[in-house]
Each structure stands twice: as structure tokens, then as C-alpha cells.
């Protein structure tokens, strides 16, 4: 079963369970995948679906940050619930310790020594751990390790 088929099946399950948040979020994700397919002329693969999921998660997180600053607890709760639905389908995220060891390994492997190598490190880290690693955390850790 492809990831898109799983999303579509879970929409049906959410409808049966009368879970409005899951239903609406999953419908939006399926629509976004199909939109990418139509606009780019791409075939739907699990990689494309993962890109859409990552984009949706990032958008939700940014919205949560903005709504928090604005004091809109109702919208923060809504976006947080949607983010949890999206995260169910994303690959497991590396925690800070795992990210630190991955960054250290890349620094050693690529023989990086200064902060001006940050771009090269970021590119390698994001490519190798696509969808599993937080770019902001990588940048923070890289800044500490490439002193």
C-alpha cells in the first residue's frame, strides 16, 4: 500500500469514526498531493507524498509560532491538532542527541573545519536525513561544532 493509498484509507476511517480534525487534515493532504501531481506533471510516489507532508508540517509549525505570538490560543490548538495528524505519516524525527551525532559524523566525513563550511554541511545533512532531521537544529548544532 502506497502512502497516498494509506492517507485515502485513513480519510474513510476518520469519517466512520467522526473524527473531524483527522478527516479534514487528511483530505487536505490528499488534495495537496494531487495538486502537485497536476501542476508538475509528476507521478505520485511516496517521495512526493513525503514532500507534501513535510511542507504541511512546516506550515503548521510556522502558524503555531505566529498564533502563539498573537495570543490566539484557539488557533494554536487547531493547528497543533492538525500537526499531530500530519506527524503520524512522517518518518520518525531524530532527537537532539541523534542529530548531534549525525552532524559530528558528517563534519568528520567531509573534513569540515570552519563556519564557512556550514552550507556544505547543511546540504549534506538535509540530503542524507531527508524528512528525519530538523534544519534549525542542524544549523544550531553546526554553529556550535564548527567554531
Contact 53, 89 (CB under 8 A): yes
* pLDDT of 67: 94
Domain end among 70, 87, 104? 87
Per-residue pLDDT averaged across 17-35, rounded?
Answer: 94
Q: Is the pLDDT of residue 42 over 80?
A: no
Q: How far apart are CA 72 and CA 47, in angstroms?
A: 34
- Other beta carbons within 10 Å of 128: 13
Length of the chain: 147
| Structural domain that includes position 138 | 96-145
Question: Could you tell me which residue, 16 or 120, shows the higher pLDDT?
Answer: 16
Q: Tell me the per-residue pLDDT of 96-125, one tens digit each, with 9 for 90 and over.
A: 888 888 888 888 888 877 788 788 888 888
Per-residue pLDDT, 139? 85
What's the mean pLDDT in 57-68?
93
CA distance 31 to 28: 5
Closest CA to 7 of 120, 25, 124: 25
Is pLDDT of 5 > 80?
yes
How many domains are there within the chain? 2
Average pLDDT, integer, range 44-49: 85
For residue 79, pLDDT beyond 90: yes
What is the per-residue pLDDT for 64? 94
The enclosing domain of 135 has a CATH number of: 1.10.10.410
- Whether residues 53 and 33 share a domain: the answer is yes
Q: What is the mean pLDDT of residues 52-60?
A: 91
CATH number at residue 33: 1.10.1510.10
Amino acid at each position: 500500500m502506497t502512502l497516498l493509498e494509506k492517507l485515502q484509507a485513513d480519510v474513510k476511517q476518520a469519517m466512520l469514526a467522526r473524527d473531524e480534525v483527522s478527516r479534514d487534515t487528511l483530505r487536505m493532504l490528499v488534495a495537496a498531493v494531487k495538486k502537485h501531481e497536476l501542476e508538475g506533471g509528476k507521478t505520485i510516489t511516496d517521495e512526493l507524498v513525503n514532500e507534501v507532508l513535510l511542507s504541511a508540517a512546516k506550515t503548521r509549525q510556522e502558524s503555531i509560532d505566529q498564533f502563539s505570538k498573537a495570543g490566539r490560543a484557539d488557533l494554536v490548538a487547531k493547528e497543533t491538532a492538525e500537526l499531530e495528524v500530519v506527524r503520524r505519516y512522517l518518518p520518525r524525527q531524530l532527537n537532539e542527541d541523534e542529530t548531534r551525532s549525525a552532524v559530528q559524523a558528517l563534519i568528520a566525513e567531509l573534513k569540515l573545519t570552519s563556519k564557512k563550511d556550514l552550507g556544505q554541511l547543511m546540504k549534506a545533512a538535509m540530503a542524507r536525513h531527508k524528512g528525519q532531521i530538523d534544519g534549525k537544529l542542524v544549523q544550531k548544532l553546526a554553529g556550535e561544532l564548527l567554531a
